[in-house]
């Protein structure tokens, strides 16, 4: 499914015209200006899954945030939205195949890290309270209690629960399950599967962060199925070989000048992995 059809960024000449006017006001930074023209990146023609590939500083995340702001997508974590962002967006254009559905969003690595930190903070709070609950359990077990009014009813129920349950079961039920039964990778993966629904547009900024190779391959299958069967469109900034190898994905190579559509096997990052494993091929044969 495609909602985004074409997106264009201002060309080098347009950006120069703007920044020359601004120079008179003595600004030292014009972000997001002067990023994408470095490699003449001016247009994206989208597929169901479109990938922006490139090394650090090539502008793949910048392009993703520009598209998200132009499309007015939902987001959680703040980003570097300078005073020039609105001016830049006015110079961009966007053509749609279908209206962008409600619930469409951009998901960044900051969103995932913040989610894991919230889980950790919540679990730390639960752990701190668990010690107090041990003492409370024994007090309830041994409490002598007389119901004097309906205001005492809740306390009577807690006493009865303590008397009928083991210590561990009582504390689990009172505190709730500790969310830190998952690793960081499992928590990160569940964040994507919980946030990505049906029939929507999703922009993902380096989703491989915190994911093991096995989890990255699971995410590839989840994204592929969501695009193929559940009406989703994805635009992904990544340099993960597992995501780049996704069948049917259209890849823009931001390392090339000008930016071109490329096969995943032609990309510098993937070739570096290939050359590395090829040079150690005999060690795998020994196993």
If asked whether residues 188 and 128 sit together in one domain, one would say no
Structural domain that includes position 92? 4-110+184-286
Looking at the structure of the chain, the number of domains it has is 2
* Residues contacting residue 2 through CB under 8 Å, at least 6 positions apart: 46, 47, 48, 97, 98, 233
218: confidence class by pLDDT, cuts 50, 70, 90: very high
CB contact at 8 A, 207 and 246: no
* Residues contacting residue 144 through CB under 8 Å, at least 6 positions apart: none
If asked whether residues 104 and 125 sit together in one domain, one would say no
Predicted confidence (pLDDT) at residue 19 exceeds the cutoff of 90: no
If asked whether residues 278 and 136 sit together in one domain, one would say no
If asked whether residues 28 and 143 sit together in one domain, one would say no
Mean pLDDT rounded to a whole number for the chain: 83
If asked whether residues 9 and 96 sit together in one domain, one would say yes
Predicted confidence (pLDDT) at residue 73 exceeds the cutoff of 60: yes
- Single pTM value for the model: 0.78
Nearest 5 degrees, angle CA 229-CA 231-CA 235?
A: 110
- Of the listed ranges 18-22, 97-101, 130-134, the least confidently predicted one is 130-134
pLDDT in tens, 165-202: 665 666 666 665 554 455 667 888 888 999 999 999 99
If asked whether residues 28 and 121 sit together in one domain, one would say no
The fraction of the chain above a pLDDT of 70, given in percent, is 73
Tokens at 3, concatenated:
């909602």
pLDDT in tens, 26-55: 565 678 888 898 889 999 999 999 999 998
If asked whether residues 280 and 154 sit together in one domain, one would say no
């Amino acid at each position: 499914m495609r909602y985004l059809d074409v997106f264009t960024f201002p060309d080098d000449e347009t950006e120069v015209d703007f920044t020359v006017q601004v120079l008179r006001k003595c600004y030292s930074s014009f972000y997001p200006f002067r990023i994408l023209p470095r490699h003449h990146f001016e247009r994206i023609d989208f597929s169901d899954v479109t990938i922006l590939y490139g090394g650090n500083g090539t502008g793949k995340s910048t392009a993703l945030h520009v598209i998200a702001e132009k499309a007015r997508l939902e987001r959680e974590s703040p980003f570097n939205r300078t005073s020039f962002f609105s001016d830049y967006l006015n110079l961009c254009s966007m053509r749609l195949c279908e209206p962008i559905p409600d619930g469409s969003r951009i998901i960044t690595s900051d969103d995932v890290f913040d989610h894991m930190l919230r889980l950790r903070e919540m679990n730390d709070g639960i752990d701190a309270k668990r010690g107090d609950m041990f003492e409370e359990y024994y007090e309830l077990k041994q409490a002598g209690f007389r119901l004097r009014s309906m205001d005492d009813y809740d306390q009577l129920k807690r006493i009865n629960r303590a008397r009928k349950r083991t210590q561990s079961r009582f504390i689990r039920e009172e505190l709730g399950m500790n969310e830190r039964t998952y690793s960081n990778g499992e928590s990160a993966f569940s964040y994507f599967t919980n946030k990505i629904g049906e029939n929507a547009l999703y922009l993902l900024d380096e989703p491989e962060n915190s994911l093991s190779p096995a989890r990255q391959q699971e995410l590839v299958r989840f994204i592929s199925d969501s695009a193929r069967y559940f009406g989703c469109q994805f635009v992904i900034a990544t340099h993960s070989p597992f995501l780049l190898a996704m069948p049917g994905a259209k890849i823009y190579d931001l390392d090339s000048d000008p930016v071109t559509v490329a096969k995943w096997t032609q990309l510098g990052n993937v070739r570096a992995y290939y050359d590395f494993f090829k040079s150690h091929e005999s060690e795998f044969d020994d196993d």
